């Protein structure tokens, strides 16, 4: 697997690719615990030809995400093409709604080519100085999750302190940077290695970060924020949520975004034993799903694009090259092998 880390806006992948065959990834077995490459198969076929009302898209960037592990338990049918966020370019069209050369966002990932209708896609309008893949990271569902969690669910106010778990991932690094740009006070994160914690402080602008393996999360958070935190952005669940609750300030808000610690099956972690503390400190704990907030996409772009262009916001991304590495890239996300948003580049962005 070829991996390139980037916190800059230049892609390291420049090799154009004009495949004559299409590759599609299928799930072929239900995993028990951590998935393996044997749960997937690469299926080769001729490049599809668009029929009336459809267009052919050659994919450029694919997103692999933790929710896909849950989908593997049943939402995804076996032996059929998988879904996921993707960005591609229209290369042939038999619909007036899409023209050759259009750049589109759609949900037919895990493949090199996709047949789409205009209703399947959102047209992208690239902005000078902002790489195309950014529409899968801070301008995509990942960024929208961070933005909605902070502004709609937690309703972050200037000067308030913020803690985010899984801080070195796609959502986590967006939360840290957005919180700062929204005027947060102290910004703290937890992650799975000392190197990632150092990266958060050195490169992403966190005030403090720690490795959750070193000591119970509640203890480490208490050390980093002796007065507690106003806003918690929870991505892990279980003992992470319990440790966060223990450190919430009165009238704080927790945006519960995910529970990545339990996606690989096994017994669900016990509910936090200190839930009742929420009552004593008038803390609000609220779950949210980004798909209920698609209407905020425009606001996110209005907020983030000027910061991207000025360099105040630098997306944190791990870019993996080649459709043949998409399974490994997905498994790496589940094991913490990524820093920032994991993106698989399968085509030429022309940048
Ligand atoms: P990500 O954070 O880039 O990747 C997942 C990270 O989780 C890994 O890098 C790993 O980092 C950490 N992790 C894995 N297993 C863990 C465990 N057992 N305990 C603690 N940390 C573990 O993924 P993402 O796409 O940005 O998603 C982050 C969270 O947001 C996930 O929970 C996801 O489901 C959620 N999410 C929710 C919504 C929504 O609509 N509510 C939308 C998008 C994402 P470490 O090295 O730090 O362990």
Specify if 164 maps to a domain. yes
Which atom from ligand 1 is nearest to the alpha carbon of 170?
A: 26
Residue 235 CB–ligand 1 contact under 6 Å:
yes
Q: Quote the ligand 1 centre to 258 CA distance (angstroms).
A: 7
Write the CA distances from 117 to 24, 98, 165, 219, 321, integer angstroms: 19, 8, 38, 52, 27
Report if residue 305 sits inside a domain.
no
Per-residue model confidence as pLDDT tens digits over 263-311: 987 677 777 999 999 999 999 999 999 999 999 999 999 999 999 999 9
pLDDT tens digit string along 36-82? 999 999 999 999 999 999 999 999 999 999 999 999 999 999 999 99
CA 142 – CA 134 distance, rounded (Å)? 10
User: Percentage of the chain surpassing pLDDT 90?
Assistant: 90
The percent of residues above 70 in pLDDT, for the chain, comes to: 94
Domain for residue 351, yes or no?
A: no
Q: How far is the CA of 98 from the centre of ligand 1 (A)?
A: 35
145 lines ligand 1 (CB under 6 A): yes
Give the CATH number for residue 16. 3.90.180.10
pTM of the model: 0.95
- In a domain, residue 296? The reply is no
pLDDT at 123 over 90: yes
CB of residue 236 inside a 6 A radius of ligand 1: yes
Both 260 and 147 in a single domain? yes
Residue 1 is assigned to a structural domain of this protein: no
CB 200 less than 6 A from any atom of ligand 1:
no
Q: Are residues 181 and 234 in the same domain?
A: yes
Residue 37 is classified by DSSP as G
On whether both 102 and 169 belong to a single domain, the answer is no
Dist. CA 61–CA 351, nearest whole Å: 13
pLDDT tens figures, 206-262: 999 999 999 999 999 999 999 999 999 999 999 999 999 999 999 999 999 999 998
**Alpha carbon 209 to chain centroid distance?**
19
Residue 248 sits in a domain whose CATH number is: 3.40.50.720
Q: Is residue 310 in some structural domain?
A: no
Based on the domain organization, do 281 and 332 belong to the same domain? no
Residue 150: pLDDT over 50: yes
Residue 319 and residue 269 share a domain: no
d(CA 278, ligand 1 centre) in Å = 24
Considering the domain architecture, whether residues 146 and 128 belong to the same structural domain is answered as: no
Q: Ligand 1 centroid to 303 CA: how many Å?
A: 24
pLDDT value for 115:
98
Which residue of 232, 233, 235 sits with most ligand 1 atoms within 8 Å of its CB, as the best mutation to test the pocket? 235
* Cβ contact 341:317 at 8 Å: yes
Query: What pLDDT does residue 15 have?
Result: 35
- Tokens 């440790």 correspond to 243
Q: What total of structural domains would you count in the chain? A: 2
Which ranges in 37-191 belong to alpha helices (H)? 67-71, 141-148, 170-181
Which one is predicted more confidently, 265 or 148?
148
Q: Is 171 in the pocket of ligand 1 (CB under 6 A)?
A: yes
My answer on whether 14 and 85 are in the same domain is yes
140 in ligand 1 pocket by Cβ < 6 Å?
no
Q: Is residue 70 part of a domain?
A: yes
Q: Does any ligand 1 atom lie closer than 6 A to the CB of residue 173?
A: no
For residue 8, the CA-to-ligand 1 centroid distance in Å is 22
**Is 164 found in the same domain as 109?**
no
Question: Both 145 and 274 in a single domain?
Answer: yes
Domain match, 186 and 251 both: yes
For the CA of 291, the nearest atom of ligand 1:
40
Is 324 among the domain residues?
yes
pLDDT of 12 above 50: no
> Is the Cβ–Cβ distance between 175 and 150 less than 8 Å?
yes
Residue 29's pLDDT band (boundaries 50, 70, 90)?
A: very high
Q: Is residue 125 domain-shared with residue 152, that is, in the same domain?
A: no
What is the reported pLDDT for 16? Answer: 37
User: Closest Cα to residue 258, out of 169, 155, 140, 321?
Assistant: 169
Give the tokens for residue 175. 């939360």
Give the model's pLDDT for residue 2. Answer: 53
Q: Which long-range contacts (CB under 8 A, 24 or more apart) does 94-101 make?
A: 94/50, 94/51, 94/52, 94/53, 94/54, 94/55, 95/50, 95/52, 95/53, 95/54, 95/55, 97/55, 98/55
Are 280 and 341 part of one and the same domain? no
CA–centroid distance, residue 229 to ligand 1 (Å) = 21
Residues 160 and 250: beta-carbon distance below 8 Å: no
Q: Which of 143, 260, 300, 316 to mutate to test the pocket of ligand 1 (most atoms within 8 A of CB)?
A: 260
Calculate the average pLDDT of the chain: 94
pLDDT of res. 269: 76
Is 60 exceeded by the pLDDT of residue 322?
yes
Residue-level pLDDT at 213:
97
- The CB of 67 under 6 Å from ligand 1? The reply is yes
Q: What pLDDT does 4 receive?
A: 58
Domain span at residue 250?
A: 141-291
């Amino acid at each position: 697997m070829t991996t390139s880390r980037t916190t800059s806006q230049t892609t390291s992948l420049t090799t154009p690719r004009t495949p004559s065959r299409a590759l599609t990834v299928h799930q072929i077995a239900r995993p028990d615990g951590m998935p393996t490459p044997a749960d997937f198969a690469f299926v080769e076929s001729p490049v599809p030809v668009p029929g009336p009302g459809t267009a052919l898209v050659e994919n450029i960037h694919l997103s692999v995400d933790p929710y896909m592990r849950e989908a593997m338990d049943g939402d995804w049918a076996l032996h059929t093409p998988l879904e996921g966020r993707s960005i591609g370019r229209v290369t042939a069209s038999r619909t007036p709604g899409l023209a050759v050369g259009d750049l589109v966002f759609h949900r037919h990932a895990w493949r090199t080519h996709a047949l789409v209708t205009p209703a399947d896609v959102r047209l992208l309008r690239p902005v000078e100085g902002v790489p195309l893949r950014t529409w899968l990271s801070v301008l995509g569902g990942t960024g929208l999750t961070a933005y909605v969690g902070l502004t709609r669910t937690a309703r972050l106010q200037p000067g308030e302190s913020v803690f985010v778990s899984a801080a070195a991932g796609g959502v986590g690094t967006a939360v840290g940077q957005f919180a700062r740009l929204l005027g947060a006070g102290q910004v703290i994160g937890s992650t799975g290695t000392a190197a990632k914690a150092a990266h958060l402080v050195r490169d992403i602008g966190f005030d403090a970060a720690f490795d959750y393996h070193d000591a119970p999360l509640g203890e480490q958070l208490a050390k980093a924020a002796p007065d507690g935190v106003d806003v918690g952005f929870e991505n892990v669940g279980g003992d992470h949520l319990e440790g966060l609750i223990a450190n919430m300030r009165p009238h704080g808000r927790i945006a519960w975004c995910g529970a990545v610690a339990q996606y690989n099956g096994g017994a669900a972690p016990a509910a936090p034993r200190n839930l009742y503390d929420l009552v004593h400190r008038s803390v609000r704990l609220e779950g949210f799903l980004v798909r209920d907030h698609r209407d905020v996409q425009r606001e996110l772009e209005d907020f983030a694009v000027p910061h991207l262009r000025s360099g105040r916001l630098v997306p944190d991304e791990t870019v993996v090259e080649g459709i043949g590495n998409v399974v490994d890239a997905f498994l790496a996300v589940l094991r913490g092998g990524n820093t920032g948003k994991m993106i698989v580049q399968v085509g030429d962005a022309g940048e």
